[in-house]
Amino acid sequence: MIELAARTRTLPPPPHVLWAALAAPLASSGRPWFELQEDEVEPTILEAREPGQVVWSTLWRDRPDDRIELRLLADREGSRLTFTWLSPGPAPDGATLGRRRRRLNELFWADLRYSFGQ
């Protein structure tokens, strides 16, 4: 597997709360944050170990073997979330790679964050 993107940031909720949101991203729990875009498919939860790890299948139809690993650690400010987008290869072209990296950043560091009021 090759790493196509990775980033770590802090989010305000504790790991068990964040884990629940990541383990069921489309659940209507009063905190909607995940909206699929036109070229995306609903991720399947491949692994879920509370409260520290969730692994999603791909978000993109044209990348069926990719996966997104989400790791959570407690942090004094809430949780430290790391996402890693992995693929057996090859990487998408440069423009597509850039758009999808940006999409993952917006998904976790904007949409998810804002759903918690931050």
Mean pLDDT along residues 55-81: 96
Contact between 52 and 20 (Cβ < 8 Å): no
Q: What is the pLDDT of residue 30?
A: 64
Residue 11: burial class (beta carbons within 10 Å; 0-12, 13-18, 19+): buried
118: pLDDT confidence band, cut at 50, 70 and 90? low
How far is residue 51 from each of residues 23, 65, 91, measured CA to CA in Å?
Answer: 10, 25, 30
Look at residue 85 in the predicted model and tell me its pLDDT.
98
Sketch the domain layout of the chain as residue ranges: 2-26+38-115
**Tens of pLDDT along 69-107?**
999 999 998 999 999 999 998 999 999 999 999 999 999
pTM: 0.93
pLDDT at 29 over 90: no
2-26+38-115 adopts what CATH topology? Alpha-D-Glucose-1,6-Bisphosphate; Chain A, domain 4 (3.30.530)
pLDDT digits 0-9 by tens, 2-22: 999 999 999 999 999 999 999
CA gap 86, 58 in Å, rounded: 9
